[in-house]
Amino acid sequence: MIANTAAYHFVTIDHPLQLADQLLARAEAAHLRGSILVAGEGLNLFLAGAQADIDGFYAALHADARFAGMRVKTSYSEHQPFARLKVKVKDEIISFRRDDGQPLEYPRAPAVDPATVQRWLRQGHDDAGKPVVMLDTRNLQEVEFGTFQDALVLPIEKFTDLPAALAPHREALKDSTVVSFCTGGIRCEKAALWMRNDGMDNVLQLDGGILGYFEEVGGEGYEGRCFVFDERVALDAQLHPLVDQPLPEPKPSAF
């Protein structure tokens, strides 16, 4: 079986290009495929390979004090879902382009764990009796595969569209507890931080995103699958892939 991992961590990286080169060498040596994004604000990784190779790669990362607290979410497939390995240096590990939504500049927005969200959805309100609104921060292409029941879905094509798309809903949300969510936690972390800095102090982020919710409590309250950015296409609540088949052999270069 192939271990498929998703991980991110916001932390100051003084020399992103140097770290990118180091991680490329480690991942290549471990025969991993997927993507690694490095920025001054941290890391964003989607990597797949044999379990022992994955474990060794992340053990080395966790041994670095900067990434000791990085959470790794894992699912499995019979086949490798990535065609190759890509390592890039970016301005942001998830592009938001909002000065008031940058995690290194402010304390982390409050998070709520999956078990609590499950309980709130089951009882129909939070522990203070306020209605709970699940706010999907993903784009419409992803939402088509599934989302939380009765979630607020915004008509966005990219993450940077979120502030403008949210504007018409802000008044209606003011008396609710808003839980921001995304695939693995990275977008809802920035979104929740920005919303709170912009005056919405009733916003929380779902810790670990949809994948963390599936991993910890299953799919209660969620309808459909979770889109993922590889050849598996989407995962169900048991983290089983929609598509699990060998990738075609790379075409030879034309000369």
Active site residues: 182
CB-based burial label for 199 (10 Å; 0-12, 13-18, 19+): exposed
Q: Are strands 132-136 and 177-181 parallel, antiparallel or unpaired?
A: parallel
Nearest C-alpha neighbor of 219 from the set 196, 239, 198: 239
Task: Give 137's contacts (C-beta < 8 A, 6+ positions apart).
Answer: 154, 159, 162, 180, 181, 182, 187, 188, 191
Give, in order, the Cα–Cα distances in Å from 15 to each of 20, 41, 103.
9, 11, 18
Task: Give 251's contacts (C-beta < 8 A, 6+ positions apart).
Answer: none
Please answer whether residues 205 and 181 qualify as being in contact, where contact means their C-beta atoms are separated by less than 8 angstroms.
yes
SS3 46: strand
The DSSP H or E segment spanning 10 is strand 2-10
> Which region holds residue 13: left if phi is over 0, alpha if psi is between -120 and 50, else beta?
beta
